[in-house]
Amino acid sequence: MLYEVDTIIWNLLRKWIHESLQKGKEALQNAKEIETWNPKSKTEPIAQSTVELVKLAMTIMEQFFSRIQLELMQILFKNLPMD
């Protein structure tokens, strides 16, 4: 039973990772298709889409590590001796 639960959890996590990567790819593709940016601009040294992509990446990483942390806490709690 324990193996089945772990398998289900990891499969869900793998699915979430795949979906998150897909979101990132779509956001990058949208930025490439829509935005025009002059890299020599003094008023806008970084394209707005770059800022949005970095925010998306940070959000995904925070979600990922919070999920991993939750998984580890569940594993550790499960292995605590209950005397």
Is the pLDDT assigned to residue 2 strictly greater than 60?
A: no
In a domain, 60, yes or no: yes
CA distance 76 to 66: 15
CA distance 69 to 29: 31
Claim: this prediction has a pTM higher than 0.85: no
In a domain, 17, yes or no: no
Is the pLDDT assigned to residue 83 strictly greater than 70?
A: no
Tell me, what's the pLDDT at 72? 67
Residue span of the structural domain in which 50 resides: 25-34+45-72
> How many structural domains compose the chain?
1
Is the pLDDT assigned to residue 51 strictly greater than 90?
A: no
Q: Are the CB atoms for 21 and 61 separated by under 8 Å?
A: no
In a domain, 50, yes or no: yes
